[in-house]
């Protein structure tokens, strides 16, 4: 059944709070003091210093609780608050199938296009806010997301009502849980298995249908003109580069796309998008990660167009036993 949509609407605005660090002063351009406009231009790269001066003139920024209307020098430890005016949030899908609910654990089939948490221009049009509105009066509490899926990634999303359950599950989902990401090892070694399906550009993968390709490309932050830094394929040369392991299995070839299954044994940001691109088979329609796994300068992580589904999840149930779930309609060609 197609999801119900929440129409585009203005939100109530938001306050972004920051504290000036000694490192911010050391990174100030030139030999002069760090100005408020320069601080914000470095902190929020979507706007340059001239735009921040306009926001200062409009009275949107406060320093140590006092409204500013002109630029000025900053000192370490000072507190800044940008009172962002209300903005229009785009329409999002606002309904989903419920796949499991035991009164605490709450697993849904998230639709593509719905952000999980506030970020990237979305504040009220998120899964978290929708859950809070729908379950605010539930005696058992509000089911809140345990992990994140990209806005345009559909499929299994785990929520829980009790904070202790969320903490327990979050630790399991973060672990590199499978000694063998292909799933060939004993079940007791695989405390958590996360399996995705995706459409990738056709004709690139060399293996036969049913064969798996291990991918061990590290993932790290590299320079990006819009964000300052962004996660992408790395070579392990930087201190912040993180090891990452996936296993890509070719399921079916098609004229428009190839269907693959990806099991991940680590949970790095945008891991599947990056790893598929790193082996030359980026997700079909992905505007950000091209062959090689580097990020395109003109795109952002929240840009859509790709096809990715959190298809199957196997994990320990907090109350004992093992929970195994699949989405009812698997992604296919």
The structural domains of the chain, ordered by start, are: 14-88 (3.10.290.10), 191-317 (3.30.2350.10)
d(CA 108, CA 1): 14
Residue 274 Cα distances to 70, 238, 297, angstroms? 43, 17, 15
Sign of CA dihedral 144, 148, 152, 156: negative
DSSP bridge partners of 84: 14
Tens-digit pLDDT string for the chain (333 aa):
567 999 999 999 999 999 999 999 988 877 789 999 999 999 998 899 999 999 999 999 999 999 998 999 999 999 999 999 999 999 999 999 999 999 999 999 999 999 999 988 899 999 999 999 999 999 999 999 999 999 999 999 999 999 999 999 888 777 643 444 444 444 444 568 889 999 999 999 999 999 999 999 999 999 998 888 999 999 999 999 999 999 999 999 999 999 999 999 888 899 999 999 999 999 999 999 999 999 999 998 889 999 999 999 998 888 888 999 999 999 988
DSSP bridge partners of 107: 100, 158
d(CA 302, CA 150): 7
Residue 199 is encoded by which pair of tokens? 């459409």
DSSP bridge partners of 312: 195, 326
- Cβ partners under 8 Å of residue 150, min gap 6: 270, 273, 301, 302, 308
Which of 330, 301, 157, 327 is CA-nearest to residue 231? 301
Does this model's pTM top 0.95? My answer is no
């Amino acid at each position: 059944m197609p999801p119900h949509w929440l129409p585009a609407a203005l939100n109530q605005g938001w306050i972004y709070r920051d504290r000036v660090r000694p490192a911010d002063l050391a990174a100030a351009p030139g030999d002069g003091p760090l100005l408020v406009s320069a601080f914000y231009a470095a902190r929020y790269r979507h706007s340059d210093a001239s735009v921040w001066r306009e926001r200062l003139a409009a009275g949107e920024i406060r320093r140590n609780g006092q409204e500013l209307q002109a630029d000025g020098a900053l000192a370490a430890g000072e507190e800044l608050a940008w009172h962002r005016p209300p903005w229009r949030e785009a329409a999002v899908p606002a309904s989903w199938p419920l796949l499991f609910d035991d009164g605490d654990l709450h697993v849904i089939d998230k639709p593509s296009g719905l952000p999980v948490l506030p970020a990237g221009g979305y504040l009220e049009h998120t899964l978290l806010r929708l859950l809070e509105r729908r379950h605010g009066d539930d005696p058992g509490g509000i089911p809140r997301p345990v992990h994140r899926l990209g806005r345009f990634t559909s499929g299994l999303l785990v929520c829980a009502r009790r904070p202790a359950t969320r903490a327990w599950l979050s630790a399991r989902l973060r672990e590199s849980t499978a000694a063998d990401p292909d799933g060939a090892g004993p079940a007791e070694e695989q405390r958590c298995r996360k399996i995705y399906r995706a459409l990738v550009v056709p004709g690139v993968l060399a293996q036969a249908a049913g064969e798996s390709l291990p991918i061990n490309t590290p993932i790290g932050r590299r320079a990006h003109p819009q964000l300052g830094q962004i996660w992408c394929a790395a070579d392990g040369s930087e201190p912040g580069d993180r090891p990452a392991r996936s296993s890509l299995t070719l399921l079916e070839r098609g004229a428009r796309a190839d269907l693959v299954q990806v099991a991940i044994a680590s949970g790095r940001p945008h891991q599947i998008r990056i790893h598929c691109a790193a082996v030359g088979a980026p997700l079909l329609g992905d505007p950000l990660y091209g062959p090689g796994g580097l990020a395109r300068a003109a795109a952002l992580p929240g840009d859509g167009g790709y096809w990715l589904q959190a298809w199957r999840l196997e994990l320990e149930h907090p109350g004992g036993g093992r929970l195994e779930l699949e989405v009812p309609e698997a992604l296919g060609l």
